[in-house]
A and B are shown apart, each in its own frame.
Chain A
Amino acid sequence: MRSFVKTKTAIALALTVTAGAAQADGHGGVEVLHWWTSGGEAAALNVLKEDLEGQGIGWTDMPVAGGGGEQAMTVLRARVTAGNAPTAVQGLGFDIIDWAKQGALANLNDVAAAEGWDAVVPAALQQFAKVDGQWVSAPVNVHSTNWVWANKAVLDANGIAAPETWDDFAAALEKLAAAGVTPIAHGGQAWQDATVFDAVAMSTLGPDGYKAAFIDLDAEALGSDAMIEAFKRMDVIRANVDDNFSGRDWNLATAMVINGEAGFQMMGDWAKGEFLNAGKVPGEDFLCFRFPGTQEQVTFNADQFMMFDQGGAVSSQQAALASAILSPSFQSAFNVVKGSVPARTDVSNEAFDACGKQGMADLAAAAGSGNLFGSMAHGHANDAAVKNAMYDVITAHFNGEYDAETAVMELVDAVEIAQ
């Protein structure tokens, strides 16, 4: 078709049109495409909006929720193709890198240099914000995904302390099952299965094995015996969830822990909001600890705002937005609400609760010791194609389609097809 020119040209054209539109707009504000629409998240984002409006920069809101940002990414593609890219777009991990490689993002190096981002943002996180030496997006937070949430009363009643090794954990599961409590609250959706697997694999393979398998996609590591062991541990977990796990939303699984129907849940730090919302106190009513065997490591995903190139130089509004996002006060205010921790390591932990403080300390420690890894389950270890190929295998195995040995073979195969 004649109207479809080469991608790069299309984007270049798109950007010219956008620039025109922005000028025609008149008020010189920012248009922000994001998927933070639940009460707490949106309220936190409103802090940013008011900050910008205080500087005389208008905020045009373009919220599109769904599928952890999947819908917004689809919309983004339509917007860019139509030549109508938003100014700033919420993005995750490899999506940011993909867009940067298309040449669609603006260069934020000036702001970054002026505000010293290089020194305060952990290197592991910079991989997703700085592509080929250019800052292209502003990180908002760091979620860590290898948390276990537990109902303290249930654990105490069964004489269980927070388990530190896989064997402790397996023993605890047995005790709970014997006591007639559902040991693990889990929702059978592909991303939740993968979130659990992420932690199990980190614990089983160790950080080096995790990196080789999920980040470097080394076929040998993917097909290793340790990987078989990881899938076998998933079988143990599968045996300790209730019959109705399939399709359950993560927050309903969290509710099971809150109500004392279940002992543990493996979920990212956003689960904390559910506990707090139910009036529970960290350390008293519920516990948060790293998945057994991953006390040193942190697997993370980070929300960021990518800045789309508005035709040449980065606009002053984009610079202002980026700088506002990285300001310590916003980082603190936002993350207290969201349950995550700041994307820069020099923010005061004063406003955070016990779990938040531990999260910040863990992040700083892991970043310092090279134990901070992008989460496979949340698109920070590999691109969307590979991530989803892994999901396919993990969820098929978890639902009993094949055993651990076959799962490993399928995993190697699926990753190869997806590349």
Chain B
Amino acid sequence: MSVASQDTAIRTGRVTRMLIYLVLLLFVLFYMLPLYVMLVNSVKPLNEITGGGMMNLPQVFTLEPWAKAWSSAQIGVEPTGLRPYFWNSISMVVPAVAISTVLGALNGYVLTKWRFKYDTILFGLMLFACFIPFQIVLIPMARMLGLMGMAGSVWGLVLVHVVYGIGFTTLYFRNYYAVFPTELVRAAQIDGAGFFQIFWRILLPSSGPIAVVSIIWQFTNIWNDFLFGASFAGPTSQPMTVALNNLVQSSTGVKEYNVHFAGAILAALPTLLVYIVAGRYFVRGLMSGSVKG
């Protein structure tokens, strides 16, 4: 029982630390670059963009593109902006992420702490399933959803995302639990704790970081998915990306780049929020005392 936080025990010298900060800052710049392009161009009037100088700061500052992307841009025949599609996406993403993460955690738990014959092969099967190209999936999935009466519904979409997400979530949790001391589980078993009790009391409290990874992965993928959303949603459940795509991709119309950029940033806000909120558990959730100390 020594470490209060889970920070590494590695110690570094002053010069090394300076260098580390320098490198980290350089990469901050690298990652920010495209966002810079998007941000500056989202606050310029359109003629300033098509006039050239796409990297320049705006000469005329305007927030109109943002307002337009949010509430009055043309998505379909009606100028609704992205606003109504937010709820569609959220009502699909939240259950899909929750279900796939919970299933992944349970699968990972079974596959590492309740080993049985051929379990590795089963895991291998689930893992290999991650590689199925979505081009293969589309038509047969549409047929299955039709047969199950789930075509064009939110729950159909949730099912699709859960199916193609559990391979990943299982992988994350399995690999994370693999290094978790099995003795703790055995000890609890001897004390008479059941399957779910052990999971709930012993593994879950220390699953913070990997749950964050899993949630970030699932949330991002499902939120940004376009093909499944476009193909399996009904007219009233089209997700955000379909709307964003409709905003951005017009083949023969005028392209309002400033509105596109504003829309793209707006559409990414929920995911960013998840990163910020969930990111805290990287630091917090881990060491409730079981693994170390």
Contact = CB atoms under 8 A, between A and B. Distances in A.
- Tell me, yes or no, whether A and B come into direct contact in the complex with CB atoms closer than 8 A: yes
Interface of A: 1, 3-4, 10, 14, 17, 31, 35-43, 45-46, 49, 59-69, 71, 74-75, 77-79, 81-84, 143, 249, 251-252, 255, 259, 268, 270, 273-274, 277-278, 338-339
Interface stretch (B36-44, B107-115, B229-237): B229-237
B250 A82 contact: no
B251 A59 contact: no
Contacts of A35: 246, 249-251
Kindly list the 6 A-B residue pairs having the minimum CB-CB distance in the complex, ordered from nearest: A38-B253, A38-B250, A82-B146, A78-B231, A270-B252, A63-B76
Contacts of B19: none
A272 to B, nearest CB: 10
Contacts of B236: 60
22 contacts: A3-B144, A10-B143, A17-B146, A36-B253, A40-B253, A40-B254, A41-B252, A42-B76, A59-B77, A61-B76, A63-B76, A65-B249, A65-B251, A68-B251, A69-B251, A74-B138, A75-B231, A81-B143, A82-B145, A83-B151, A143-B252, A277-B254
B51 interface: yes
Contacts of A79: 142, 151-152, 231
Given A61-B76, A79-B231, A252-B50, A14 B253 contact: no
Contact of B253 (A41, A69, A81, A255): A41
B75 A37 contact: yes
Nearest to A14: B146
B3 interface: no
B23 interface: no
Nearest to B135: A74
Interface of B: 47, 50-52, 73-79, 138-147, 151-152, 227, 230-232, 234-236, 238, 242, 245-256
Give the residue among B152, B230, B256 with the most A Cβ atoms within 10 A: B230
B141 to A, nearest CB: 8
A43 B232 contact: no
B255 A39 contact: no
B77 A61 contact: yes
Contact of A71 (B79, B143, B146, B245): B245
B211 to A, nearest CB: 33
Given A81-B139, A273-B254, A65 B246 contact: yes
A63 B77 contact: yes
B19 to A, nearest CB: 38
A251 B143 contact: no
Nearest to A10: B143
B74 A37 contact: yes
B143 A3 contact: yes
A48 B51 CA distance: 35
Contacts of A49: 77
Contacts of B248: 65
B254 A64 contact: no
A273 B255 contact: no
Nearest to A71: B230
A17 B74 CA distance: 31
A31 B77 CA distance: 12
Contacts of A268: 252
A4 B77 contact: no
A65 B246 CA distance: 5
Contacts of A38: 74, 250, 252-255
Contact of B254 (A65, A251, A259): A251
Contacts of A4: 140, 143
B75 A63 contact: yes
A38 B245 CA distance: 11
B255 A78 contact: no
A305 B235 CA distance: 18
Contact of A61 (B78, B139, B227): B78
Contact of A251 (B152, B234, B242, B255): B255
A64 B250 contact: no
B241 to A, nearest CB: 11
Given A10-B143, A82-B145, A45 B77 contact: yes
Nearest to B227: A74
